[in-house]
Structure 1
């Protein structure tokens, strides 16, 4: 028997959420699934992101997050300095 790795878990969860988004209102034995419009939209978003993560397209590492954080702080500093220049110039 194979082990259930996180990659397989995201693949299974993605398939389940995509199925809920596509089918919508249904009955499974004694369980009724009726997510509504926003529930189906949320299930579609979660399903697609789970499948992308399982395929490795949405894999974020710590280095990527650090790079994102430093670039974001640099952009904030630049925008604050440009706003200060505009305020002092007028």
Structure 2
């Protein structure tokens, strides 16, 4: 349950920050948002990182991480052996 709540939080924060970065100067009810260039750039960076983090929480469960670790270990072993063969040929 907490995983879903934190995922939703980062998703909503990412959407809000991306909206601030894209719209720029606007007036929401009684709040005026005028971030300027640096504020819009910072909102864009925070928004993209929040959305990527929320996406990462969805895609990487414990099983997927174990499969990824196994796959990367096998790829590293294969690349090390091929590099050794290449160096032996020189």
The TM-score range, normalised by the shorter chain, is 0.5 to 0.7
What TM-score do you get using the length of structure 1 for normalisation? 0.62
Unaligned runs of 5+ residues in structure 1 are: none
What TM-score do you get using the length of structure 2 for normalisation? 0.62
User: Paired residue for 1:11?
Assistant: 11
Give the distance between the partners of 2:50 and 2:20, measured in 1 at CA: 9
Structure 1 residues 23 and 47, CA gap change in structure 2 (3 angstroms):
farther
**Residues 1-90 of structure 1 mapped to structure 2, 5 A cutoff:** 5-24=5-24, 28-29=31-32, 32-34=34-36, 36=38, 38-39=41-42, 41-46=44-49, 48-49=51-52, 52=55, 58-90=58-90
Matched residues, number: 82
RMSD over aligned CA atoms reads 3.1
The structure whose residues are more often helix, as a share, is 2
